[in-house]
Structure 1
Amino acid sequence: MATKYGTTYNCYIIQCGDECVLIETVKNKDIHTEQLLARLYDAVGVNEDGSHKLRRVLESTLNASERNHAIGDAFKYYYDAVMSPFPSYIQQGLDIIKGLDPAPRIIAPAHGPIHDMDHSNLIERYDKWSKAALAVERDLVLVGYCSIYGFTENLAMAYADGVREATPYVDVRMFDLEEVPTHELVSLLPRCKILALGAPTINKDTVEFVKEILDEIPVLLYGKMYASVFGSYGWSGEGIGIVRERLEHSKIIMPFSPVATRFKP
């Protein structure tokens, strides 16, 4: 949906799924940044308590280091963590932007700096990333694990090898959750058929690296994605059960019982 938000402000509000983006099309020296942001706040429904708050800064006011971070690592992180589950919505939004007349001069997303400089590369990157997600054909199985003594890692390797042997056409990827940033795995979940999590037990609990993945599973995947749990433990093994309960609470489909082994499998 694209709506022109008043002739005074010469801007568009673009809504793609739950994301709103304000685009100013005409340079107007009478428009102050605070006024522009006030309109944006109205559009995205920012609460009085400051939640969902936009950082009030123009990209052109950032120094080189800040700008490189804003349109580099931070830009990709936000895409992976928030936007990657919605490639079709992104393409719809980009189609709207490409059809705007006059062409956008400023893009003010609901998060991060306002892009008042050349933003063509940002649009091209969203286009490239979302098209790549839509073009994927092979089913994906993700095997994420955290291992203290290497025993849970052994189970993860056996799990991955078993899937590859049974279904050679499936794309199986392993992730050591202690080494790989959480958002990298989370960005793949929307196209994931099965998520296998290997969880050790420490102090009758699982580890934070596994909990971070559980916290970041997109709500839209509840009731749709399949998962399984495995792990090695030394004493009581509660970590495996905790992960299973969290997945079941999120209505993730678990057709098999967890695989648990004591010490070396």
Structure 2
Amino acid sequence: MKKNVKNNVDWVGYIDWELESFHGDDYSIINGSSQNAYLIREGKNVLIDTVWAPHRFEFIENLKKEIDLNDIDYVIVNHGEVDHSGALVDLMKEIPNTPIYCTPNAVKSLEGQYGKHDWNIHTVKTGDSLDIGNGKSLVFVEMKMLHWPDSMATYMTGDNILFSNDAFGQHYAVEEMFNDKADQCLLNREAMKYYANILNPFSPLVAKKIKEILAMNIQIDIIAPSHGAIWRDNPLQIVEKYAQWADAYQENQITVVYDTMWEGTAKIAHRIAKEIHLQSPDTVVKVFNCAKSDKNEIMTEVFKSKAIAVGSPTVGADMLSSVAGWIHFLKSLKFVNKKAAAFGCYGWGGQAVKIMQESLKDAGFEVIDESIKSLWNPDEGDYDKAENFVKSLLK
């Protein structure tokens, strides 16, 4: 079912209310998602992106209800990842000679995933344009590493729509389609979660690309991403947020993350949280057991934090595997300008705290010297260490 975006531009994508995970099981979906594709009908008819392969046949059948497929003049592939290109192979079986416009890297992506086909592919770079009639054009902007090397955005003149693909999107199902119709708390939360867990490693490139787009001095009335709500009410608000998020973002928050074997490390985690509140009542404190809580939700809180405290007991002369895996994911997100500390219980060796400290340094955090190591179970002496521990985190 189509939904009108503006004038002769319609949304023809798929809303997935039941989706629970993405990128395999690496990204949690809590509020549904969508794969946004767009159909432009001007002097030329243009399809921008498709949908994920599980929905390809429904997508094509719905598209046929809107337009004779043979009347599609151009197909734009902004990004070759399967959630955007999954219907392309079956679509091109119907219209094999239709020109496809994408970046050179997108050709590698499409051929690598679907094999080589005798498609009519035209490669483009930033600044290239395509006349679509009625005085309007599509202008292409390469978006390398936002978040794949092949990514690009497409700007439609006249209607001033930026089809931004994965940039500025959210994994969020919005039947009402537009940002001003969405639940604002969920919209902002899902936009930040998307940035923190997917785009944060590329923050220097995000900042550079935003400056490049703004330097083009183009009017942007709508930002139409490939997931979630379309930004029509003050669309540049999400661009401004990206600029903030890309600049070593933090709020007045500390997040405590731990796993525990026999609750001793959990007790220390809760004491640290209490001490943070005592020393700095205005600081937001969040506490998570990383073995029981959603890792993407935790990382969103880490993204907001100025400091973190990470805890694990020692087992097998190391930290728990749950904590080790969590820190490995933490490292991949390349957070900057944040402090960290380590704590935990032990019975024999007690190596976990030092190993966590080194791992957190490797993840790019400024690690304080203070730690809390408790033999067997924490006592008042261990709890007393929380005062200096927290003072150092708050400095």
Q: TM-score, normalised by structure 2?
A: 0.43
Please, which moves more after superposition, 188-197 or 172-181?
Answer: 188-197
1:60 equivalent in structure 2:
none
**Cα distance in 2 for residues equivalent to 1:91 and 1:185:** 27
1:150 equivalent in structure 2:
263
Task: Indicate if the aligned counterparts of 2:196 and 2:303 stay in contact, CA closer than 8 A.
Answer: no
Letter in 2 for 1:219: K
Task: Indicate if the aligned counterparts of 2:200 and 2:334 stay in contact, CA closer than 8 A.
Answer: no
**Structure 2 regions of 5+ residues with no counterpart?**
1-37, 47-71, 78-99, 114-144, 152-171, 178-186, 379-395
Among 343, 362, 366, which residue is 1:230 paired with?
Answer: 343
Which structure is larger by alpha-carbon Rg, 1 or 2? Answer: 2
2:45 equivalent in structure 1:
27
Give the deviation of 1:209 after TM superposition. Answer: 2.5
1:25-84 deviations in Å (ceiling 9; x for gaps): 773322135623456727xx86986795889xxxxxxxxxxx959x99998864340236
Among 198, 201, 205, which residue is 1:82 paired with?
Answer: 198
Please state if 1:172 is matched with 2:190: no
Identity %: 15
**Cα distance in 1 for residues equivalent to 2:317 and 2:263:** 19
**Structure 1 regions of 5+ residues with no counterpart?**
1-22, 56-66, 108-114
Which protein has greater RCO, CA pairs closer than 8 Å, 6+ apart?
1
Please state if 1:186 is matched with 2:299: yes
**Cα distance in 1 for residues equivalent to 2:365 and 2:244:** 26
1:219 equivalent in structure 2:
334
Task: Indicate if the aligned counterparts of 2:309 and 2:340 stay in contact, CA closer than 8 A.
Answer: yes
Please state if 1:247 is matched with 2:353: no
**Cα distance in 2 for residues equivalent to 1:92 and 1:53:** 17
Q: Residue 141 and residue 117 in structure 1: after superposition, are their counterparts in 2 closer, same or farther (change >3 A)?
A: closer
Give the deviation of 1:180 after TM superposition. Answer: 1.4
Letter in 2 for 1:41: A
Q: TM-score, normalised by structure 1?
A: 0.60
2:313 equivalent in structure 1:
200
**Cα distance in 2 for residues equivalent to 1:117 and 1:151:** 42
Task: Indicate if the aligned counterparts of 2:173 and 2:229 stay in contact, CA closer than 8 A.
Answer: no
* Structure 1 vs Structure 2 CA RMSD: 4.8
Give the deviation of 1:157 after TM superposition. Answer: 0.9
Give the deviation of 1:219 after TM superposition. Answer: 2.3
Task: Indicate if the aligned counterparts of 2:260 and 2:312 stay in contact, CA closer than 8 A.
Answer: yes
Q: Whose strand proportion is higher, 1 or 2?
A: 2
Task: Indicate if the aligned counterparts of 2:308 and 2:339 stay in contact, CA closer than 8 A.
Answer: yes
1:188-234 deviations in Å (ceiling 9; x for gaps): 3333221100112222221233123322243251xx22111000122
